Amino acid sequence: DVMADFCCTVLNQLPPRYIRYDVDMAFYLTQTDRLDMQQRVEVAINFAIDQIAKKKELHE
């Protein structure tokens, strides 16, 4: 359950993108867009970790 909550929370924070292959992302995004995406992913991951930690504290 924790992993599913984590993945859903992260993905809900990010804009939808259709990427079939890694090369699609590397080819079609500018360097600025790639860096922006990487930063947004890091923020979303940290947010998800915080949310799960809060949920765990409530259940203890």
**Helix ranges (DSSP H) in 1-60:** 2-12, 22-28, 31-59
Domain of residue 55, residue span: 2-59
**Other CB atoms within 10 Å distance of the CB of residue 10:** 18
**Predicted local confidence at residue 51, as pLDDT:** 94
Average pLDDT over residues 10-38: 86
Closest CA to 36 of 8, 20, 17, 21: 17
Angle between helices 31-59 and 2-12 (to 10 degrees): 140
The fraction of the chain above a pLDDT of 90, given in percent, is 55
**Predicted local confidence at residue 55, as pLDDT:** 86
Considering only residues 9 and 21, tell me which one the structure prediction assigns the higher pLDDT.
9
Q: How many domains does the chain have?
A: 1
